Structure 1
Amino acid sequence: MNAPATSFTALRPRLFAVAYRMTGMRADAEDILQDAWLRWHEADRSQIQIPEAWLTTVVTRLAIDRLREARRERADYIGQWLPEPLVEAAPDPLQQLEHVGELSLAFLALLEKLTPWERAAFLLRESFDLDYAEISGMLGKTQAAVRQLVHRAKARLQDQSPRFEVTPQAHLDLLQRFAHASARGDESALMALLDENAIYSSDGGGKVMATLRPLQGAGRLGLFYKCLARLYDGQTVHYALAWVNGQLGLLRYNEGKLDCVMEITHDGERIRTIHVMRNPDKLALIDPAVSQIGPDTRLVL
């Protein structure tokens, strides 16, 4: 393998992390990396002092352009648009080093409130720990402008992305209890698990059944899952555990076919948010080897 390929391959996980956090789409991130590789291959590397900085700049600029296009496309999107989940059989050690909480679907959905430039400045600063001078060079803006972008981003996200210290066992226990209660449509059990202001969001892409707007409130969500269980009555529904964006989530199967990917956030006792991906276009990109029900992951309901 030649030196350019070796350098790019070594940096690829971090570059993908930047592109995915910027766009919220695996496919877009992969396209951006392909474009970045072509530019890297054609560049005069004798003029590139720090490959990582050069490539991060290219990827960030490409991601900003893609995000602008995506915003226009999503104006016609049917229902709620949610980030495409990254589903793995086991956690990626590199992701564990890259602020896993800031890889969650809940966090990425919040980033949709930001402009592309705010999103880039905020992520490079808060998720990738770059200093303002580095970000200034990457974005082609003054350090004062970058500081203002980060400040505005933090103000937009203030108090909307709470952080809770939850043990892995508490997270697993709550996922299992939720899977059992929702599969049975047990309204009282669900109410005991849900925060009174819990929010449910789902993305069907206009192709399968999904809520057009978020549902909020334990009462509404308890009734919703009760009705959903009735809808699935007579069908074989299973839940399985998988790593969704760096943390344990749920896969729901209907008649053996992957029906949705679910990410749940909570404070250790009550569920705060439920993000559900049902868009078949986004589910189709999940590795079939990961999305199959296995004896080690299937939850007995």
Structure 2
Amino acid sequence: MTDTQTAFEEHRRLLEGAAYRILGTRTDAEDVVQEAWIRWSTVDPDTVDDARAYLVTITSRLALNKLRELKARRETYVGPWLPEPVATATDDPARAAELADEVSMAMLIVLESLTPLERAAFVMTDVFAMKSPEVAEALGRSPASVRQLVTRARAHLAARTPRQVVEKSRHRAVIERFLNAALSGDVAELVAVLSPDVTLVTDGGGFRRAALRPIHSSEKVIRWILGVLSDPQVASLKPEIRTLNGEPAVVAVGPDGVDSVYFVTVEDGRITAVHSIRNPEKLTAV
């Protein structure tokens, strides 16, 4: 293995994590990292003072360009668009940690609400601790502009991120309670476990049954859940609780593999949001 290859492989997982945070999809992140390798392969590593910063800059710039392209496509996406979940309970803990540890589905969803520049600036600054001049060079902006982008991103994230970080065991217990109530059709228990203003967002991508708009209020969410479970094909799926994006999530498995994934946001012991990914193209990393 050449020095160029060695340097790149040393940072590959980190680069995948950077691209995933900016793009929200593992498959696109891998494509970006491959493009970063092609560009890096033409560079003499001896001429680079900090390979990590150099590679993160290349990857982030490519991811930003890709995100701008994807934003245009997502405007015609069928129904809500949700990020692609990633299994973090793998045989390769280091890879899982670099790719998705501490990148909860809730965080990815909030990141989706930022502009592409805000998202890239935030990831490079707050996740990878790069200095404003370095980020400015990568994004083609002034350091002052980068600081403004990061400030806006932080304020937006603070306003929309769940107030509490729930302990994983407690999070799992709430999921189990919700799952048991849904499968048994226990409306009273569903009312108890769901916040009155709970929101349900489903992403089927036009491939599988999903609501075309977010559903608000526990009454409407319960009606939707029980309606979906009344479908014999859905009712035959086997639900499992797995670790995805560093948190417990419900994975519904059928004869052909994973059918859907459900993430729940828990605050004050009740579920305030349910995000369901059913688009099969987004379930390959589960």
Q: Report if TM-score (shorter chain) is over 0.5.
A: yes
Comparing 169-178 with 23-32, greater Cα deviation is found at 169-178
Alpha carbons 1:118, 1:150 under 8 Å: kept: yes
Shift of 1:116: 1.1
Runs of 4+ in 1 over 3 A off after TM superposition: 88-101, 155-158, 232-235, 254-257
Unaligned 5+ segments in structure 1 are 292-301
Are residues 265 and 69 of structure 1, via their aligned partners in 2, closer, same or farther at CA, if it must alter by over 3 Å?
Answer: same
Counterpart of 1:70? 70
For residues 244-277 of structure 1, the C-alpha deviation after alignment (integer angstroms, 9 at most, x for no partner) is 1122211012457422011111025101211111
Q: Structure 2 counterpart of 1:31, which letter?
A: D
Counterpart of 1:17? 17
Q: Percent identity?
A: 34
Alpha carbons 1:204, 1:210 under 8 Å: kept: yes
2: CA distance, partners of 1:281 / 1:55:
28
Q: Structure 2 counterpart of 1:266, which letter?
A: V
Counterpart of 1:183? 183
1: CA distance, partners of 2:37 / 2:227:
49
For residues 41-96 of structure 1, the C-alpha deviation after alignment (integer angstroms, 9 at most, x for no partner) is 11132321111111111001100110011011111111011111112444845655
For residues 151-186 of structure 1, the C-alpha deviation after alignment (integer angstroms, 9 at most, x for no partner) is 222343342112413222211211211111122232
Counterpart of 1:266? 266
TM-score between both structures, scaled by the size of structure 2 = 0.91
2: CA distance, partners of 1:243 / 1:45:
37
2: CA distance, partners of 1:199 / 1:149:
29
Counterpart of 2:173? 173
2: CA distance, partners of 1:73 / 1:99:
24
How many positions carry a matched residue from both structures?
A: 285
Partner secondary structure for residue 250 of structure 1: strand
- Pair 1:194 & 2:194 matched: yes
Unaligned 5+ segments in structure 2 are none
Are residues 99 and 29 of structure 1, via their aligned partners in 2, closer, same or farther at CA, if it must alter by over 3 Å?
Answer: closer
The 5 Å alignment of 1:1-301 reads 1-90=1-90, 92-93=93-94, 96=97, 100-101=101-102, 103-232=103-232, 235-254=235-254, 257-267=257-267, 269-283=269-283, 285-286=284-285
Q: Structure 1 counterpart of 2:66, which letter?
A: R
TM-score between both structures, scaled by the size of structure 1 = 0.87
Counterpart of 1:299? none
Note the aligned Cα RMSD (angstroms): 2.2
Q: Structure 1 counterpart of 2:26, which letter?
A: R
Comparing 135-144 with 187-196, greater Cα deviation is found at 135-144
